């Protein structure tokens, strides 16, 4: 039986090895060119219709692009490129194996110097033991992480499975989680022939970007990881390998690694932690003693002078990063190899919450997220950087533990995927909690995720014979003696990083909408957040931007992830109508649900390998390097390919303004990602049962305000849902006659129209005039206002009354109360007496009371008449008893 058809219970049998089902996984499907290009074209259309119609110039460009796509998809050049991918698909486990597309095309271009390191991060929940020290928390987490490493190397880590289908997922990516580093590609002899005595000049960096006479190589987009791993065979005659790889980024893996790297106050230490059989050398108490020693040593005045901001080089631009690595590799090959080959990096961050150095920071700007991610930037009286930002190494997996015992995991998105790191993070945290159960049960190994993982025989002898001095001697400190040139590079990289820290803001907030809210709406929770974010962004900026969401494709052999575009024409229409008065509540709710269904369908297709992003990039990659891969293209072939791959309309695809990702569970409190472009947003979120925790990273943007708009959008959706449910049925659960329903709808529309004319002057949208859409959206409808909640008016009131103090967003705490529905007693009492409409319903739940300033018309009406007929209708908030009888 194929593994893909087995149930999760079968996959999770005790004796199933980590990589047992790897070879049984199906291959990632190779899409058809025509379908990929059609999907790609559709993803671009909403960007050029942000005001509801396309202007003449953009319409002409879109028409020409569509014609170019159609011509290309039927041409020989498309078949030439696709046939090369078929060859790769036949020869490898995945057609992308020879085409490394994991780094965004724009990531390391020169203009990207203004971006923070492209490293996602997860903040762990606090330790189960209150008041734990930094050294003890570090020891507990490192010990748990090492047990994970040992289980992986012994093959006893249970395979991942799809939670719904029970099908196994690819585990190959775990091999790049530990003992792996990102590094630049050097051509043969480039490091060996480098002259350390040569004075540094800008021309040294420019040489990295010099191109040959080949015009097709002028702008390189998708780059291979290395010569050895990614390029099959040799290049055709006349094509130089260095042309192909000079901008390349690769990963180096050291599967025999046994040590970790510890960074404290800019000083570097290594510690062997696994024996020859990959068993653990130290227990928790021994590790705590070692980390205490490192903390003491790094805080000594004489050693503090030896500290360096070397790690900031890993946050520098590609050109500077590659040049500095070349110098380090030439002068310090052994030391650099010790860093590169470490299992992971432990950072003993010396910061406390009050050490931010930024007096304007308020609690809601998530100071903890900032100092856990990139550390603090603090300048002493002599102008030296003494903050913890110098103690990072962004090329590798990092475990951060602060002085107040907060913990986070930071990883390099080039070498690791979020789903892989999430499991490592959550199981490391879980194992750290299970230690308490082992402590009270005499070390019973059954209180562990991996009972078979054992400690080394060296540990027993070490515990009985090793003194504190012996433990200290096991720590090896890396001592640097940099030249003036390298010191200059380190200094410039540190000042550049400090500038980036000052420019960027991280905003963390929780909103009271989670899985249960999505279930009540009948939609996917992830789609609910993604679609609402697009509406919120449109409401704030009046245009749609290119947004991407990463989706795991690990259901296929040697496959990792892909991106799906969030925007669509249907979503654009929703955004326009949501902030207008042309559609009533039920219409807006229906369109919101439809947009969520479209997004959910994209996710399902992407997980099944039906996604255009990877395939389009692969085709463009082959076109850029067609000579290297032996693909002969004539001038007409190049002309048709340029229309599809070098068109100005596709720029937004390589530079998305929105990167939105979902990653996290109960073991984590925060997930954050950096933006892809300097003017963009990076939004990470964790969906829980009754809330969603979001972290927005941006540069000179209004992350807090965007989150306020998101909260408003979901509050309106909840109001629409409640009102739609209540207006469709009376209190006894009997559907109202459509004729009666229509009569009262007309009556309400007239009342609302009179009210809007009377009070129109007081409901102007301050600063949001385009929301009225008088000449655009309202021209499509004969009704001025036919939405009870009137989203645009609510948005006006909200934006005029909202208080943003220092960029802070004030959102009430979430409530888990469910959206109320009539109880049996309410149904029995309905129709017996007339109940007067009260300003505030005393029985309203806590959740119903949330965000009342942005939702003024969501109260339940109880206009019930003493009659044999039961009617539940809206009198437009008149608020008086209805005097009427029916014969």
Q: What is the pLDDT of residues 535-582, one digit of tens each?
A: 999 999 988 999 999 999 999 999 999 999 999 999 999 999 999 888
Distance of CA 818 to the CA centre of its chain: 29
pLDDT tens-digit profile of 2-12?
444 443 444 44
524: number of Cβ within 10 Å = 20
What's the CA dihedral at 29, 35, 39, 40 to 10 degrees? 90
Per-residue 3-state assignment (H helix, E strand, C coil) for 124-144: ECCCCCCCCCHHHHHHHHHHH
Say what the pLDDT of residue 233 is. Answer: 43
| Packed helices 635-645 and 76-91: angle between N→C axes, nearest 10 degrees | 80
Hey, which residues does 697 pair with through a beta bridge? 506, 682
Buried residues in 337-350 as b, exposed as e (16+ CB within 10 A): ebbbbbbbbbbbbb
pLDDT over 70 for what percent of the chain?
Answer: 69
Beta strands 475-478; 407-410: pairing state: unpaired
pLDDT, one tens digit per residue, over 464-491 is 456 667 777 899 999 998 888 888 889 9
Whether residue 296 has pLDDT greater than 90: yes
pLDDT at 522 (0 to 100): 94
C-alpha radius of gyration, the chain, whole number: 30
Structure-block tokens of residue 494: 């540190």
Q: What is the pLDDT of residues 778-803, one digit of tens each?
A: 444 433 334 445 555 556 555 555 55
Kindly state the average pLDDT of the residues 269-284: 95
Check: CB of residue 584 under 8 Å from CB of residue 564. no
CA 259 vs. chain centroid, Å, equals: 30
According to the model, what pLDDT value does residue 273 have? 97
Q: What is the dihedral of CA 280, 284, 287, 291, to 10 degrees?
A: 150
* Mean per-residue pLDDT of the chain: 78
Q: Is 550 helix (H, G, I), strand (E, B) or coil?
A: strand
Rounded Cα distance between 520 and 843, Å, is 21
What the block records as the tokens of 357 is 């150095």
Closest CA to 792 of 571, 528, 535, 593: 535
Identify any residues that bridge with 347 across adjacent strands, giving them in sequence order.
263, 400
Closest CA to 864 of 884, 844, 850: 884
pLDDT at residue 18 tops 70: yes
Using N-to-C axis directions, what is the helix angle for 33-44 and 56-73, rounded to 10°?
Answer: 170
CB 872 within 8 A of CB 727: yes
pLDDT of res. 716: 96
Looking at residue 750, its pLDDT comes to: 63
**Higher per-residue confidence, 13 vs 552:** 552
What is the torsional sign of CA 35, 36, 41, 44?
Answer: positive
Token pair 């960027």: residue:
504
Closest among 349, 437, 347, 296 to 142, alpha carbons compared: 347
Mean local confidence (pLDDT), 256-279: 96
Strand positions, DSSP E, 406-514: 407-410, 475-478, 504-511
Q: Which of 438, 300, 348 is nearest to 136 (CA)?
A: 348
pTM for the predicted model, two decimal places: 0.80
Convert 266-314 into a string of H (helix), E (strand) and C (coil): CEEEEEECECCCCCECCCHHHHHHHHHHHHHHHHCHHHHCCCCCHHHHH
What does the DSSP 8-state code read for residue 126? P
Using alpha carbons, select from 425, 411, 449, 423 the residue that is nearest to residue 170.
423
Q: Which residues have C-beta within 8 Å of that of residue 270, sequence separation ≥ 6? A: 259, 260, 261, 262, 338, 342, 475, 476, 478
Q: Residue 361: which of 505, 498, 495 has the closest Cα?
A: 505
Question: Domains, the chain, ranges and CATH?
Answer: 24-107+508-566+601-707 (3.30.559.10), 111-186+249-501 (3.30.559.70)
856 vs 342, higher pLDDT: 342
Residue 444 pLDDT > 90? no
């Amino acid at each position: 039986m194929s593994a893909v058809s087995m149930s999760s219970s079968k996959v999770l049998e005790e004796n199933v090895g980590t990589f047992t089902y790897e070879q049984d996984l199906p291959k990632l499907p190779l899409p058809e060119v025509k379908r990929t290009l059609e999907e790609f074209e559709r993803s671009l259309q909403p960007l050029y219709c942000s005001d509801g119609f396309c202007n003449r110039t953009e319409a002409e460009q879109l028409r020409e692009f569509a014609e170019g796509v159609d011509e290309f998809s039927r041409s020989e050049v498309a078949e030439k490129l696709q046939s090369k991918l078929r060859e790769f698909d036949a020869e490898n486990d995945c057609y992308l194996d020879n085409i490394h597309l994991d780094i965004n095309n724009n990531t390391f271009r020169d203009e990207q110097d203004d971006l923070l390191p492209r490293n996602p991060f997860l903040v762990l929940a606090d330790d189960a033991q209150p008041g734990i020290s930094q050294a003890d928390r570090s020891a507990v987490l490192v010990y748990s992480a090492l047990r994970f490493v040992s289980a992986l190397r012994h093959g006893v880590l249970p395979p991942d499975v799809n939670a719904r289908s029970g099908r196994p997922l690819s585990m190959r990516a775990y091999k790049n989680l530990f003992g792996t580093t990102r590094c630049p590609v050097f051509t043969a002899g480039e490091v060996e022939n480098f002259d350390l005595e040569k004075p540094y000049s800008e021309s040294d960096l420019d040489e990295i970007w010099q191109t040959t006479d080949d015009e097709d190589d002028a702008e390189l987009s998708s780059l291979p990881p290395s010569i050895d791993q990614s390029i099959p065979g040799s290049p055709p005659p006349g094509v130089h390998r260095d042309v192909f790889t000079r901008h390349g980024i690769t990963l180096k893996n050291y599967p025999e690694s046994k040590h970790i790297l510890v960074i404290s106050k800019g000083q570097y230490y290594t510690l062997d932690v696994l024996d020859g059989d990959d068993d653990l050398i130290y227990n928790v108490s021994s590790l705590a003693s070692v980390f205490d020693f490192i903390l003491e040593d790094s805080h000594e005045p004489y050693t503090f002078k030896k500290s360096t901001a070397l790690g900031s080089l890993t946050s520098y631009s590609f050109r500077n990063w590659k040049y500095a690595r070349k110098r380090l590799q030439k002068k310090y090959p052994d030391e650099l190899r010790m860093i590169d080959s470490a299992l992971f990096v432990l950072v003993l961050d010396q910061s406390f919450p009050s050490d931010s150095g930024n007096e304007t920071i308020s609690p809601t700007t998530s100071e903890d997220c900032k100092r856990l991610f990139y550390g603090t930037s603090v300048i002493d009286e002599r102008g030296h950087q003494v903050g913890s930002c110098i103690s990072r190494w962004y090329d590798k997996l990092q475990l951060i533990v602060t002085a107040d015992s907060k913990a986070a995991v930071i990883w390099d998105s080039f070498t690791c995927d979020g789903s892989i790191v999430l499991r490592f993070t959550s199981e490391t945290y879980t194992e750290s909690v299970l230690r308490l159960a082992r402590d009270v049960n005499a070390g019973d190994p059954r209180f562990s995720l991996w009972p078979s993982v054992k400690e080394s025989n060296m540990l027993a002898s070490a515990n009985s014979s090793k003194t504190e001095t012996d433990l200290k001697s096991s720590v090896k400190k890396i001592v640097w003696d940099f030249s003036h040139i390298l010191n200059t590079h380190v200094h410039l990289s540190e000042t550049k990083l400090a500038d980036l820290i000052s420019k960027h803001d991280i905003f963390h907030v929780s909103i009271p909408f989670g899985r249960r809210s999505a279930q009540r709406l009948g939609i996917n929770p992830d789609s609910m957040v993604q679609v609402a974010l697009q509406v919120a962004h449109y409401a704030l900026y009046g245009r749609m931007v290119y947004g991407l969401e990463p989706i795991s494709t690990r259901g296929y052999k040697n496959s990792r992830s892909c991106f799906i575009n969030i925007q669509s024409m249907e979503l654009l229409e929703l955004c326009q109508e949501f902030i207008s008065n042309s559609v009533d509540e039920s219409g807006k709710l229906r369109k919101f649900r439809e947009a969520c269904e479209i997004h959910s369908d994209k996710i399902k297709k992407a997980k099944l390998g039906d996604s255009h992003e990877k395939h389009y990039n692969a085709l463009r990659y082959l076109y850029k390097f067609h000579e290297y891969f032996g693909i002969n293209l004539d001038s007409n072939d190049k002309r048709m390919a340029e229309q599809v791959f070098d068109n100005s309309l596709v720029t937004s695809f390589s530079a998305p303004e929105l990167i939105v990702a979902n990653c996290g569970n109960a073991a984590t409190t925060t997930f954050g990602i950096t933006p892809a472009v300097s003017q963009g947003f990076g939004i990470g979120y964790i969906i829980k049962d009754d809330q969603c925790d979001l972290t927005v990273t941006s540069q000179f943007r209004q992350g807090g305000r965007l989150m306020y708009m998101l909260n408003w959008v979901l509050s309106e959706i909840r109001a629409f849902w409640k009102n739609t449910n209540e207006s469709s049925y009376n209190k006894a659960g009997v559907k109202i006659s459509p004729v009666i329903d229509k009569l009262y709808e007309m009556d309400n529309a007239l009342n609302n129209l009179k009210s809007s004319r009377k009070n129109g002057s007081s409901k102007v949208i301050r600063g949001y005039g385009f929301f009225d859409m008088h000449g655009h959206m309202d021209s499509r409808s004969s009704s001025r206002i036919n939405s009870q909640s009137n989203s645009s008016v609510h948005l006006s009131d909200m934006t005029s009354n909202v208080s943003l103090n220092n960029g802070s967003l004030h959102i009430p705490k979430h409530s888990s109360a469910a959206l109320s529905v009539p109880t049996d007693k309410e149904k029995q009492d309905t129709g017996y007496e007339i109940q007067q409409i009260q300003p505030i319903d005393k029985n309203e739940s806590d959740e119903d009371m949330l965000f009342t300033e942005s939702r003024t018309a969501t109260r339940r009406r109880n206009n019930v008449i003493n009659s044999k007929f039961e009617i539940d209708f809206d009198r437009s908030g008149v608020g008086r008893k209805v005097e009427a009888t029916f014969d």
